[in-house]
Amino acid sequence: MEGNKNAPRMGGATSPGLANAQTTTLFRVLNFELFAKADPRVMGLGIFAMLGIGGSLGYQLYQDRQANNKVKEALAQASEETVVEIPKHLRRNGWN
């Protein structure tokens, strides 16, 4: 057993998991995150980017709601000012 270099060693010399498993190159390319070590700088940039995107979407939603409120207020004010009475002989149904 001492001569076999591919045999797993005990005592923490090799890390357990997929890093030591025999896999194809295609599997390693398609599942890169299983074999790459975590990089805190890249993770930090990713978190910063996700927070920026979320903040931007939240701000756009806030601006859209503010604009909709202004439009609704303007329509309500305009409808209060102009009341059009349809003469009875021009009404086609009971809903007018």
For residues 92 and 84, give the distance between their C-alpha atoms in angstroms, rounded to a whole number: 16
Name the token pair of 83. 């009341």
Average pLDDT over residues 18-31: 82
35: DSSP letter: T
> What integer pLDDT is reported at residue 75 of this predicted model?
77
pTM of the model: 0.49
| Residue corresponding to tokens 């910063």 | 48
Tokens matching residue 92: 């086609």
54-61's contacts with Cβ under 8 Å and 24+ in sequence apart are none
CA angle 75, 80, 83 (to 5 degrees): 110
pLDDT in tens, 52-94: 999 999 999 999 999 888 888 887 787 776 666 767 766 677 6
Q: How many residues does the chain have?
A: 96
Which residue in 18, 44, 22 sits closest to 31, CA to CA? Answer: 18
